[in-house]
Amino acid sequence: MTGKRILALIIDWASAILVVQVIPNAPEYGTQRNSLLTLIIFALEVILFTWLMGASFGQRIVGLRVKDFVKDSNPSLLQSIFRTLLIVLIIPPLLADSDGRGLHDRLAKTKITNV
């Protein structure tokens, strides 16, 4: 499942880059403002899609789903925000427990499952 998670992250990041490129008057590619805008678009996409559909765009494509660890339902808006902020920090997804749950999932009380 780790390979799927990495592929989903790459798809989400690539889609954020594409969205920024089609925004009129967006900062030139490779600039700090462009990078910040890409990060913001990435975070918003992941937060909203995870909260509303239980999976980011990339996770949906590769067949993964994010669930509340206790309720086994879509994560709440607060869980989605917290989980995404931890992902943006990069380190938490790299630290996984024996069950394969990243630190960001453990702290947000979420889990990743196959669809």
Q: What CA–CA distance (Å, rounded) separates 6 from 79?
A: 20
pLDDT tens digits along 102-113: 888 888 999 988
Strand extents, DSSP E, 26-87? 64-68
pTM (2 d.p.): 0.87
Do 11 and 61 contact (CB within 8 A), yes or no? yes
pLDDT tens digits along 10-31: 999 999 999 998 988 877 777 8
Listed as ranges, residues in the chain with pLDDT below 70 are 1, 91, 93-94
Do 89 and 114 contact (CB within 8 A), yes or no? no
pLDDT, position 3: 86
